[in-house]
Structure 1
Amino acid sequence: MLEKTFGSRKANTIYQERVGAYGIGFDHEQKIPVVMTPLLDGRTGCFLPGGGIEHNETHAACIIRECLEEAGLHVIPRELICKIDYYHFIEQTRTNIYGIGYFYTMEIKGVVSEPTEKDSVLTWLTLAEVKERLFFPHQIWAVEQAFQHHGR
């Protein structure tokens, strides 16, 4: 498993820790599902499906739940590709985040419902589009690792 840190811890700064699990899948055209959601500043952000682990759930359970909630996708998490630590400041809420993300490949079984999370929209991007549109650089790096790992 690969590990990488994005950003750095600033001295005398309090961080809110967030542990999450995320899925990276490919359809028959090698496109990747991403979730588009409005940001607080009016722009739209693109993110890998996944999110914070709730109530001691497993990484796999988190990915399955989040994919269904955010995108209406039925998925099967497969292989852990990388663990990424990242430091991020959220301007709108003035919050310092220390994120610990686990990124897995996933098998996409299909779209089974509409997203239950308000304002979440599923879209499918090529690798080139992912590099341009994903909001977080660490998520772009994770997708690149998944592509390299599976020889896509």
Structure 2
Amino acid sequence: MLEKTFGQKEPSKKYTERVGAYGVGFDKNGKIPVAMTHLYNGKEGYFLLGGGIENDETHSRCIERECLEEAGLKVMPLNFVCKGDYFHFIEQTNTFFHGIGYFYYMEIDKVIANPTEPDHHLVWLTMDEVKEKLFLPHQIWAVEEIYKAFVKKALS
């Protein structure tokens, strides 16, 4: 399994751990759907579609639910590609956080509803924009890995 850790774990700190599943797909123009929301400082933050796994749901079900909630987008997760995690400190909540993400290549169907999370907006980014705008480094890395595995191969 392809796996990579970002950030440094400080041994003396207690981390809040969150496990999530995220989908990366590409439209016919090679753009990737992401959620744009506002951060605590009022700036825009861009994140992959997906999120925390609830109860005992599968990774696929989590991605399908989160894509619908965050973007109104119907998707089909197809292939698990990589696992990335990120140790960091969130100043706004004074929390040491350990985000663990399972990243999947997904097929994008279409927008079928309005998002149920009113602070999330569907935005389509190019690969260059993803590298520039995504907020979390393990998500940027995962997009690059999925691009190499599925899009770049298809173009070769």
With the shorter chain as reference, the TM-score category is over 0.9
Q: 1:28-51 CA distances to partner (integer Å, 9 max, x unpaired)?
A: 101000100011111110000000
**Aligned equivalents of 1:48, 1:151: Cα separation in 2:** 17
Higher share in helix? 2
Q: Which residue of 2 aligns with 1:25?
A: 25
Q: Distance in 2 between matches of 1:24 and 1:103?
A: 7
The separation in 2 between residues aligned to 1:95 and 1:118, in whole angstroms, is 25
Match in the other structure for 2:14: 14
Q: What whole-Å deviation, never above 9, does each CA across 1:46-101 have from its counterpart, x for those lacking one?
A: 00000000011100010000000000000000101100121021110011111111
SS of the equivalent of 1:150 reads helix
- Do residues 120 (structure 1) and 120 (structure 2) align? yes
CA distance in 1, matches of 2:12, 2:127: 38
In structure 2, C-alpha distance between the alignment counterparts of 1:33 and 1:25, rounded to whole Å: 7
Alignment of 1:135-150 (within 5 A): 135-150=135-150
For residue 118 of structure 1, report the CA deviation from its aligned partner: 1.7
1:106 partnered with 2:106: yes
1:50 equivalent in structure 2: 50
Cα distance in 1 for partners of 2:151, 2:69 equals 30
Q: CA shift at 1:151, angstroms?
A: 3.8
Distance 1:64 1:118 in 2: 18
Where does 1:81-96 land on structure 2 (aligned, <5 Å)?
A: 81-96=81-96
For structure 1, the 5+ residue unaligned runs are none
Give the distance between the partners of 1:64 and 1:14, measured in 2 at CA. Answer: 31
What is the identity, as a one-letter code, of the residue corresponding to 1:89? F
> What percent of counterpart residues are identical?
61
Q: CA-atom RMSD, angstroms? A: 0.8
